[in-house]
Chain A
Amino acid sequence: AQTVTQSQPEMSVQEAETVTLSCTYDTSESDYYLFWYKQPPSRQMILVIRQEAYKQQNATENRFSVNFQKAAKSFSLKISDSQLGDAAMYFCASTNSGNTPLVFGKGTRLSVIA
């Protein structure tokens, strides 16, 4: 069974600085997918970034990028030039190539300090 671990329940970052949220996962599959989802306060959860395990290149979406270390089973999210609107719960998730539903981590609450 897949497991996803987020070891940082809470993080904080100064506005305009860079922060990295950690995520490790465990799977016996060779083909799988990794995700970061963002849940702003009182707003709907949205996808931030997605990574296919077979792709060696790290995914990037504007100020959001990942550091995918396949051998270490690590999938961290880097947020550059942090903005107040980045304050949210961030969830790491994974699924394999079959029809297995997403497995989510317990989340990291990110605060952005003005």
Chain B
Amino acid sequence: DVKVTQSSRYLVKRTGEKVFLECVQDMDHENMFWYRQDPGLGLRLIYFSYDVKMKEKGDIPEGYSVSREKKERFSLILESASTNQTSMYLCASSFSSPRDTQYFGPGTRLTVL
């Protein structure tokens, strides 16, 4: 079974802090994705990566950056957390194409105070 894990289920940070969200997949998937999920807005793509050291902006990249130094790990970074970044963050991976099944992590519920 594919396993996608995220470093924290719940996280509380202060405004202005630098926040790291880690995602690890164990199936040698090439593609990895970070989404933000808010009530009434569905899933919105923040960043994605089709290969190691590659990254592409999604629909809402402002205020975020990413890092993919190893194939299995995709990190989302909030350089200076703000209250409007309070949300559920979902990581996903897929084998080699966006058409392939995406496997999701359990999510990180981030609260910025």
Which residues from chain B contact A101 at a C-beta distance below 8 Å? 33, 45, 48, 58, 98
Asked if B102 and A99 sit within 8 Å, CB to CB, the answer is: no
Q: A91-B42, A101-B48, A104-B43 are in contact. Are A45 and B99 (CB under 8 A)?
A: no
Residue tally, chain A, CB below 8 Å to B? 21
| Candidates B42, B92, B98, B104; contact of A105 at CB < 8 Å | B42
Query: Number of contact residues on B: which range applies?
Result: 20 to 34
Total CB contacts across the A-B interface at under 8 A: 44
**Closest partner residue, chain A, to B45 (CB atom):** A101
Q: How far is the CB of A99 from chain B (nearest CB, A)?
A: 6
Determine whether B74 belongs to the interface, using a CB cutoff of 8 Å to chain A: no
Which residues from chain B contact A84 at a C-beta distance below 8 Å? none
Determine whether B97 belongs to the interface, using a CB cutoff of 8 Å to chain A: yes
Determine whether A102 belongs to the interface, using a CB cutoff of 8 Å to chain B: yes
Contact with A along B25-52 (1 / 0, CB 8 A): 0000000010100001111110010100
Spell out A's residues near B (CB within 8 Å): 6, 9, 33, 37, 43-47, 50, 91, 95, 97, 99-102, 104-107
Taking A37-B102, A44-B105, A95-B98 as known contacts, 6 extra A-B pairs with beta carbons closer than 8 A to each other, sorted by chain A number, are A44-B4, A44-B104, A45-B90, A102-B45, A102-B102, A106-B41
